[in-house]
Amino acid sequence: MTTTIETTEREQAAFAAVELARHPARPRALQVIAAAFDDWTELRGDRLFADDRAVVGGPARLGGRAVMVIGQEKGTDPMTRAVHNFGMPHPEGYRKATRLMQQAEKFGMPVVCLVDTPAAYAGVGAEERGQAWAIADSLLRMLNLRTPTISLVLSEGGSGGALALAVADRVLALENAVYTVAPPETCAAILYRDAGQRARAAAALRPGVDTAHEIGLVDELVPEPPPGAHAHPAIVAAAIRGVLIRHLTELEAIPLDDLLGMRADRYRRAGG
């Protein structure tokens, strides 16, 4: 049986914004790392169970300084999308990320997280190995990390799966990205018991990063030349490089104890 779901213009516009954020040609984490950083050397595995390819990470150089870059990678074609599980991490992905964060702290490297996931993966293995525990641990570790941290939402920041890599001193987002409590499909399934009503959910949720910016969860939106980042990958990569260096320079001037105090304060008040 097929049902036709009528949508209003407002709902169509809201869902079009979600589709733009999901545009297959938008810059992915590995592309941004290649274009905006130097000497990136990938480190793999969580040392516990597996190497989750939905999360990539390793040290690189940015404007002279060594930084730890961690990104959620969605893949760019059918084969790489499957390899990277469409950017949906298992617990191992978060445990690899926190391993690399601890290492960054040890060597005094700032951490840069590139967030791009519809959600943490929902599956039997992910639950058995403690998806919620891995995310909760990452949230707490990011609050405690004694090194400057920046997170940039590239395209899609969905659910706790995104927040787990976004409890940072500075949170930035490309202006056409979305940042939501859950993908519109999941929201529709929860609220209306019908994932098909995703446009209605998208309109009600206001998924654009401007909403996250309004409530102070995102500090700065990085402009994209029209029609969007998918059409101008080189310009956007250069803009990302510039904005990351500017924020890192600011953060590096703040004594670590002050930085951690400010971070705790900020998230203590997060979301109104």
Partner 1 sequence: MDRTAGLMPARRQPPLRRLQAPGPQLRPVSHAATIACAACGRRYVADRYAAELNVCGGCGHHARVGAVQRIEQLADPGSATSLRLEVAMRDPLQFDDGVPYTDRLERARERTGLDEAFEIATAAVSGVPVVLACMDFDFLGGSLGSAAGEMFAEACECAVDESRALISVCTSGGARMQEGIASLAQMARCSAGVKAVSDARLPYISVLGDPCFGGVTASFAVQADVILAEPGARIGFAGGRVIEQATHDKLPDGFQTAEFLLAHGMLDAVVDRRDLRPTISRLLDLYTRAA
With respect to partner 1, which residue has the nearer C-beta, 107 or 133? 133
Q: CB of residue 37 vs partner 1: minimum separation in angstroms? A: 26
With respect to partner 1, which residue has the nearer C-beta, 63 or 137? 137
Residues that bind partner 1 (CB under 8 A): 120, 122-124, 126-133, 135-137, 139-140, 143-144, 159-160, 163-164, 167, 179-182, 186-187, 189-192, 200, 204-207, 211-212, 215, 217, 264, 267-272
Q: CB of residue 242 vs partner 1: minimum separation in angstroms? A: 26
Q: How many C-beta neighbours within 10 Å does residue 44 have?
A: 14
Place of tokens 């990678």: 73
Q: CB of residue 73 vs partner 1: minimum separation in angstroms? A: 20
Whole-angstrom Cα distance, residue 23 to residue 53?
21
Whole-angstrom Cα distance, residue 231 to residue 191?
35
Q: Is the dihedral of CA 79, 80, 81, 85 positive or negative?
A: positive
Residues 6+ apart with CB under 8 A from 268: none
Helix, strand, coil fractions of the chain, as percent rounded to 5: 50, 15, 35
Phi, psi (5° rounding) for residue 271? 80, 15
With respect to partner 1, which residue has the nearer C-beta, 64 or 272? 272
With respect to partner 1, which residue has the nearer C-beta, 43 or 189? 189
Q: CB of residue 175 vs partner 1: minimum separation in angstroms? A: 15
Q: CB of residue 263 vs partner 1: minimum separation in angstroms? A: 8
With respect to partner 1, which residue has the nearer C-beta, 70 or 168? 168
